[in-house]
Amino acid sequence: MNNNRLSLVLIFICIVFSCSTPSTSLDSIVPNIVPVPMKQKMKEGQFSMSSKTRLNYNEDFKISARFLESYLTNGNQMKLNEGEGGNVISFEKDEQMENAEGYKLVVSSEEIKIIAPTDQGAFYAVQSLRQLLPVSFETGSYKGSEVGIKCMEIEDEPQFSYRGMHLDVGRHFFSTTFIKQYIDALAMLKMNTFHWHLTEDQGWRIEIKKYPRLNEIAAYRKETLVGHYNDQPHQFDGKRYGGFYTQEEIKDIVEYAYNRNVTIIPEIEMPGHSQAAIAAYPELGCTDEPIEVATKWGVFEEIYCTKEETFAFVEDVLDEVLTLFPSKYIHIGGDEAPKTRWKNCSDCQRRIKEEGLKDEHELQSYFISRVEKYLNGKGRQIIGWDEILEGGLAPNATVMSWRGTKGAVAAAKERHNVINTTTSHCYFDYYQSTNEGEPIAIGGFLPLEKVYGFNPIPEELNEDEQKYVLGAQGNVWTEYMSTEDNVEYMVYPRIMAMSEVVWSKDENKDYDDFVSRVEKFNERLDVLDVNYANHIYEVGGELHTEGVIQSFALKTVTKDKDIRYTTDGSDPNILSQIYKEPIAMTKSMVIKAAVFNAEKQLGGLFKQEFKYHKAVGKKLTLNVQPNKTYGGRGEKGLINGINGSNARFGDKEWLGFWGDDLEITIDLGEITEIKSIETRFHNANGQWVYAPKTMEILFDKDDGIPSVIILDSNELIVKAKLEKIAKSRYITLKVPSFGIIPEGSQGAGSKAWTFIDEIVVN
């Protein structure tokens, strides 16, 4: 009552004294909703939710209304009014709204109105409303009997119809409780698809009643690789590992997801990544020989044979899958299927002949098309990884593009639907930071800002072709995520960035604003006990070069914080100097910095080492430009005194080339005495990155002794060093590409990448 009177008085004062329009200041306090809505407008006043508030909805909105009801009242002291009178939260259908998942949320002092064309749209209004409430509602621990919600109008709709997250439960297995939490996160972030990767070489995770050995044998491996695949020699933990979801558990999860507007697309991998199934039923393979469920990561040669018996198995398995998952799409994998076994198998060779196929790639296409036909006959559509383009695309398939966007472009041009999950922007198993101390990851580098900047529509597509891009998805491969905490660390906050990529309009996106909303959103994750990564508090560094003068700028994307730093090797603390301007780098030094608020350090330690040498800031030319995605700092990055990170070839200091023979020339400006030349190559074979086998160095004058360095090492980073006294103005490095990736390795048959680091001249 008093509040109402007060606002009446205020309105009166405003009218009488015609105060400046309140909307300017109100607009600056729009709520911190992730993903950011299309339109938000703040209004005067607030809605008071209490035991006097009624929920008014009909059957059209039963999912969203029931979700809201349980969210508001479960555990909380707040109760809703089950009788008459009081204020109201109402659901209203508007069939005129164009986007089926769109909504309006209108909060006035008398009513909260949710207007949508469908229950899905209303569900997203509820998710926005949820983010207007105190975070204690998340855990049902809100103690008040009333809560105020500021008056506003939100108008919102998604940019893409496919908004997904993937989770690999084959490499590591996660509890049903965790799967539900994962689905909760998707729902809260307005994502609508959970791609559940259920079968792998290292474990089969779905109960299939007709084939009990899938659960007795294929669901368990005898042990697991310890450390990184690139660490040699391989070591194992000696512990049996595994598990699977029963059909009852799966039904329960599918229902749970349905009530959160999330469709689950199951993935049953074929013909590759099937070693676990072949371990259980060796007759499914080409050799009939007993094999084990895989205990380490990678691509394996054991794939399904193309004989009739295998198709009978696949169809039986899919029959059970279809009874559990009502989704329009079934993902049938199709990636990374080495053809060695098929080349040497009489059944597969007979199949090639009988079907008039050209080679094993066409045999793969035969396999996928045959399974597609089976599923189409049951009213379902297939999705496959972009390898299904090789040897001819199955007629109705949707392509999940991951090896760059080439597959997305090719499929859209063939008028096939596409989901963009390109490794460079969507692989959440990549490192998020170049700082030391990160949990071990597969490799690569995909920081939050890069995810945020992702455009799922490849620029090569014209307007008509763009329509085939349904959306995008974050992929979470779990070779290096053995616990649920690990998964959360890799997923958050990148999932929030992905949610804006697929939901929000470009004109509403702003990275700095996003980061402030992430800071707020993290309070919600705190009460939910989510182990999110907090790299938003990391110091970012940027090298500035003017001629041969270099300086280093530090920055933080979070507001109202200080960067404190040192250059004497000590760790910064609350008393260290506050960063104000770029730090001149005229000699070798190490900068250490961190973000602080008034009380404490918030993020991890930033460390940048700078080693001065004779080529720093000089001129460097390349015969080919680095690949667009891994262009780093361009050629300057090779002679700026800064090494690339040891684990992350995707950071800016590494330059990546795809299959090119390189010729790199440094002009030292004058004849200079040289004692040594040194560089490094990344050799992350699992990610298709190979050090060259040799490197040659040329000087101004040929002294008759060739300077060829043989690089013969399996290390993750291969060093190449020439020690030779020479006088020269120009130094040329000739770096041949490794060539084609050999059979049996990840990316077999593709060109290898070359990643080169700083060229140190002393």
- Residues lying near ligand ACM in the complex (CB under 6 A): 335-336, 385, 402
Least distance from C-beta 301 to ligand ACM, angstroms? 15
Which residues contact residue 69 at a Cβ distance below 8 angstroms, ignoring those fewer than 6 apart? Answer: 55, 80
Phi, psi (deg, nearest 5) at residue 621: -125, 150
Least distance from C-beta 638 to ligand ACM, angstroms? 30
CB nearer to ligand ACM: pick between 115 and 741: 741
Least distance from C-beta 305 to Zn ion, angstroms? 3
Exposure string over 678-698, b if 16+ CB within 10 A, otherwise e: bbbbbbbbbbbbbbbeebebb
Strand partners, 196: 167, 266
Q: Is 487 in the site for Zn ion (CB under 5 A)?
A: no
Least distance from C-beta 530 to Zn ion, angstroms? 46
Least distance from C-beta 365 to ligand ACM, angstroms? 17
Own/partner contacts of 371-378, CB < 8 Å, gap of 24 or more, are 371/270, 371/311, 371/314, 371/315, 371/318, 371/332, 372/332, 372/396, 372/397, 374/314, 374/315, 374/318, 375/318, 375/322, 375/330, 375/332, 378/318, 378/322
3-state SS track over 25-72: HHHCCCCCCCCCCCEEEEEEEEEEEECCCEEECCHHHHHHHHHHHHHH
Q: Is 345 in the site for Zn ion (CB under 5 A)?
A: yes
Q: Is 352 in the site for Zn ion (CB under 5 A)?
A: no
The two structure tokens encoding residue 373: 């036909």
3-state SS track over 222-261: CCCEECCCCCCCCEECCCCEECCECHHHHHHHHHHHHCCC
Least distance from C-beta 269 to Zn ion, angstroms? 17
Do 426 and 490 contact (CB within 8 A), yes or no? no
CB nearer to Zn ion: pick between 38 and 286: 286
The two structure tokens encoding residue 88: 């109201």
598 class by beta-carbon count within 10 Å (0-12 exposed, 13-18 middle, 19+ buried):
exposed
CB nearer to Zn ion: pick between 28 and 346: 346
449 binds, among Zn ion, ligand ACM, none (CB under 5 to 8 A by kind): none
Least distance from C-beta 333 to ligand ACM, angstroms? 8
Least distance from C-beta 716 to ligand ACM, angstroms? 20
Least distance from C-beta 475 to ligand ACM, angstroms? 7
CB nearer to Zn ion: pick between 206 and 337: 337
371 binds, among Zn ion, ligand ACM, none (CB under 5 to 8 A by kind): none
Q: Which stretch binds Zn ion (CB under 5 A): 344-352, 430-438, 647-655, 690-698?
A: 344-352
How is 492-513 classified by DSSP, letter by letter? TTHHHHHHHHHHS-GGG--HHH
Q: Which stretch binds Zn ion (CB under 5 A): 96-104, 293-301, 340-348, 461-469?
A: 340-348
Least distance from C-beta 344 to Zn ion, angstroms? 8
Q: Is 563 in the site for Zn ion (CB under 5 A)?
A: no
Least distance from C-beta 198 to ligand ACM, angstroms? 14
Which positions from 610 to 639 touch Zn ion by CB under 5 A, shown as an x/- string?
------------------------------
Listed residue (381, 379, 373, 374) closest to 400, CA to CA: 381
- Coil, strand or helix at 557: coil
Do 397 and 372 contact (CB within 8 A), yes or no? yes
Which residues contact residue 373 at a Cβ distance below 8 angstroms, ignoring those fewer than 6 apart? Answer: none
Least distance from C-beta 216 to Zn ion, angstroms? 25
217 binds, among Zn ion, ligand ACM, none (CB under 5 to 8 A by kind): none
CB nearer to ligand ACM: pick between 121 and 747: 747
CB nearer to Zn ion: pick between 301 and 653: 301
Do 752 and 739 contact (CB within 8 A), yes or no? yes
CB nearer to ligand ACM: pick between 155 and 335: 335
CB nearer to ligand ACM: pick between 425 and 592: 425
219 binds, among Zn ion, ligand ACM, none (CB under 5 to 8 A by kind): none
Do 601 and 577 contact (CB within 8 A), yes or no? no
Phi, psi (deg, nearest 5) at residue 50: -160, -170
Q: Is 286 in the site for Zn ion (CB under 5 A)?
A: yes
Least distance from C-beta 477 to ligand ACM, angstroms? 6
345 binds, among Zn ion, ligand ACM, none (CB under 5 to 8 A by kind): Zn ion
385 binds, among ligand ACM, Zn ion, none (CB under 5 to 8 A by kind): ligand ACM
CB nearer to ligand ACM: pick between 402 and 537: 402
CB nearer to ligand ACM: pick between 197 and 633: 197
Least distance from C-beta 335 to ligand ACM, angstroms? 4
330 binds, among Zn ion, ligand ACM, none (CB under 5 to 8 A by kind): none
Phi-psi region of 566 (alpha: psi -120 to 50; beta: other; left: phi over 0): beta
CB nearer to ligand ACM: pick between 44 and 335: 335
The two structure tokens encoding residue 151: 């008056």
Least distance from C-beta 327 to ligand ACM, angstroms? 19
CB nearer to Zn ion: pick between 318 and 348: 348
**460 vs 466: CA distance, rounded Å:** 9
CB nearer to ligand ACM: pick between 320 and 479: 479
Q: Is 347 in the site for Zn ion (CB under 5 A)?
A: yes
CB nearer to ligand ACM: pick between 345 and 388: 388
336 binds, among Zn ion, ligand ACM, none (CB under 5 to 8 A by kind): ligand ACM
Do 697 and 731 contact (CB within 8 A), yes or no? yes
Q: Number of residues in contact with Zn ion, rule: CB under 5 A?
A: 5
CB nearer to Zn ion: pick between 35 and 338: 338
Phi, psi (deg, nearest 5) at residue 491: -85, -45
Which residues contact residue 556 at a Cβ distance below 8 angstroms, ignoring those fewer than 6 apart? Answer: 537, 538, 539, 540, 563, 595
402 binds, among Zn ion, ligand ACM, none (CB under 5 to 8 A by kind): ligand ACM
Residue from 78, 348, 585, 662 binding Zn ion (CB under 5 A): 348
Do 228 and 198 contact (CB within 8 A), yes or no? no
Least distance from C-beta 342 to ligand ACM, angstroms? 19
Q: CA Rg, the chain, in Å? A: 29
Listed residue (647, 545, 553, 656) closest to 606, CA to CA: 553
| Closest residue to ligand ACM, based on beta-carbon distance | 335
759 binds, among ligand ACM, Zn ion, none (CB under 5 to 8 A by kind): none
CA 540 to chain centre: 20
The two structure tokens encoding residue 236: 């194992």
Residues, the chain = 762
347 binds, among ligand ACM, Zn ion, none (CB under 5 to 8 A by kind): Zn ion
Q: Is 343 in the site for Zn ion (CB under 5 A)?
A: no
CB nearer to Zn ion: pick between 201 and 757: 201
Do 501 and 452 contact (CB within 8 A), yes or no? yes
Least distance from C-beta 37 to ligand ACM, angstroms? 32
Listed residue (327, 261, 263, 264) closest to 124, CA to CA: 261
Which positions from 301 to 320 touch Zn ion by CB under 5 A, shown as an x/- string?
----x---------------
286 binds, among ligand ACM, Zn ion, none (CB under 5 to 8 A by kind): Zn ion
Listed residue (226, 345, 233, 325) closest to 278, CA to CA: 345
CA of 431: how far to CAs of 147, 437, 638, in Å?
Answer: 41, 11, 22
CB nearer to Zn ion: pick between 78 and 348: 348
Residues that bind Zn ion (CB under 5 A): 286, 305, 345, 347-348
